[in-house]
Amino acid sequence: MDPIQRLKIALARRGLASRKISETTERPLESWIHGQVRSAFNADRELRKIIGKPKLEEVERKDLEAYKLFKVRKLLSYVQENSIYYKRSLKEAGVSPSDIKTIEDLSRIPLTEPADVASEPFHFLCVSQSKVMRAYTTSGTTGQLKRMFFTRDDILHIIDSISAALKTVGMSKDDTLQIMFPTIASWDPGYMLDGACKVAGLKSVIADMLDVDEQIRVMKASNTTMMIGLTSFIYRITILARNKYDLKSLGIKAIILSAEPLPESMRREIEDAWGCKALSQYGMTEMGLATTIECKVQDGLHVNDADFLVEVIDPDTGEHVSEREAGELVFTSFNYQGTPLVRYRSYDLSCFINPPCPCGFETIGKVGKIQGRLDMMTKIGMGEKIFPLLFDEAVLSVSGVVNYQTLIERCGYRDQIRLRVEFIGNKDEARRKIEEALVLVPEIKSGLDNDLLEHPVVVMLDPGTLDFVPKTQSIVDMRHLYT
């Protein structure tokens, strides 16, 4: 049987909480999360005792915090029993579930490295293989292949949370979502998104082609009103299409930019071209996609607190950092049966922002914009750290940039940064502006001041010259060729 059919049958038996969210529901995601907390409260006497209320009508922030710690303890018992990896690692660390009483206690649990998941996927699998409905292989941005397993209930749960998130950004049954992840992306979330829409009674169309005219044709034919896709891909479509089509007349209500960080200059170009809000979404396949979504305030992404616990740590010391202080995001997925992960390192740098949020969410926190990746960094000059997103604001502040690639070369004892920029418009003027903006980037300025960096070189190219690569993979380090 087709997986979607099987899910529909399962749905008929169970019903999805997100279906109850109507157009008049205030704060859909928060209301869905509170519903999950209430279900757990009603189902578990232990949680009722911890929360200490006879009924849980209003879910307060402290109730949500208690729920998450309760879930983590439950998860630890579950993985201790069912995962070869965690049985060993928790025993070695001498931690038992009852030790975890506060957020601070979490640091007693060892971090899970992506490399461990890549090398021994079956040591993380907690159910028999006959219960696995879908296995995903993902390379993420590091190239290590990781295999993740999801049961039918896991998939239903992900679909439910995706549907709640889509309703939070304003999607209703009258809308059509165009799903725009090019097949070149490291994994294809289109299946899950499409499934989420179908099962949740929302309309969607998958459009993974690189061709701009074809994308616009599908948009018109399907009456698309919302878009979701790889950030740099939707940006590229926007720049290539905006001079050929009246994009505002297409009636797009919202655009969700996924899987890559969203520089503000890129957001502005996209919002101006389509005449609607562009919101960022961040998640990992390892966490089942629906991890965080940005709200209309556009200052951070709300965490799906029903399913995940997020910590922000100092990657060198492992200690928790303060609110809004930069550190590495660490995730625990406490509702999956297949491959739940405990304190999983993302290698992504961001920060935590406490509730309440001006959007109206009172209990669920946010993570700030992703600032870079620890394992994608390379050093130049005096040891300044360079990572793929560093030049985005400088390069994309010049209107007309379609895509760009960063090369680092060696020139005598100095490093040199060469940018290859695909551009539409007056190339000479744009090159001058980009060069001016680049020398103001602190990492470059410091290298120039210390005479360890050559002046950056910008090469302007026609659109389509560079192969399309996701933004997080766009630094090419050529220095090994010279040593």
- C-alpha 408/C-alpha 447 separation (Å) is 13
- 135-163 as b/e: b if 16+ CB within 10 A: ebebebbbeeebbbbbbbbbbbbbbbbbb
Question: Smaller CB distance to Zn ion: residue 44 or 299?
Answer: 299
The binder of Zn ion chosen from 100, 192, 247, 295 (CB under 5 A): 295
Q: Of the listed pieces 43-51, 276-284, 293-301, 419-427, which binds Zn ion according to CB under 5 A?
A: 293-301
In eight-state DSSP terms, residue 105 is G
Nearer to Zn ion, 364 or 380 (CB): 364
> Which span sits near Zn ion by CB under 5 A: 102-110, 296-304, 323-331, 462-470?
296-304
Number of residues that bind Zn ion (CB under 5 A): 5
Question: Which residue lies nearer to Zn ion by CB, 242 or 366?
Answer: 366
CB of 30 to Zn ion, least distance (A): 9
Q: How far apart are CA 246 and CA 229, in angstroms?
A: 20
Q: Give the E-state strand segments of 304-368 in sequence order.
A: 308-313, 327-333, 344-350, 352-353, 366-367
Q: Structure tokens of 431?
A: 């090159």
**Residue 364 interacts with Zn ion (CB under 5 A)?**
no
What 3-state DSSP class applies to 40?
Answer: helix
Q: How far is the CB of 282 from Zn ion (least distance, A)?
A: 14
Q: Taking contact as CB under 5 A, which single stretch among the options 164-172, 246-254, 344-352, 360-368 is the one that binds Zn ion?
A: 360-368
State both tokens at 93: 């660390």
Q: Interface residues for Zn ion in 297-326 (CB under 5 A)? A: 297
Report the residue from 310, 357, 367, 421 that binds Zn ion according to the rule CB under 5 A: 357
In whole angstroms, how close is the CB of 274 to Zn ion at the nearest point? Answer: 22
Q: Which stretch binds Zn ion (CB under 5 A): 9-17, 21-29, 291-299, 315-323?
A: 291-299
Among 257, 293, 312, 359, binds Zn ion (CB under 5 A): 359
Query: What phi and psi values does residue 135 have, to the nearest 5 degrees?
Result: -115, 135
* Choices 172-180, 275-283, 351-359, 452-460; region in contact with Zn ion by CB under 5 A: 351-359
Considering the complex, state which of residue 266 and residue 357 has its C-beta at the smaller distance from Zn ion.
357
Pairing of strands 352-353, 344-350: unpaired
Give, for 302, the enclosing helix (H) or strand (E).
strand 301-303
Query: Which residue, 279 or 376, is less far from Zn ion as judged by CB?
Result: 279
Q: What is the rounded distance in angstroms from the CA atom of residue 434 to the CA atom of residue 397?
A: 8
Q: Which stretch binds Zn ion (CB under 5 A): 85-93, 232-240, 349-357, 431-439?
A: 349-357
Q: Which two tokens stand for residue 26?
A: 């205030």
Q: Quick one: angle between helices 152-168 and 3-14, nearest 10?
A: 80
Let me know: does 355 contact 61? Beta carbons within 8 Å. yes
Shortest distance, position 255 Cβ to Zn ion, whole Å: 17
Please report, as ranges, the residues that interact with Zn ion according to CB under 5 A: 295, 297, 357, 359, 361
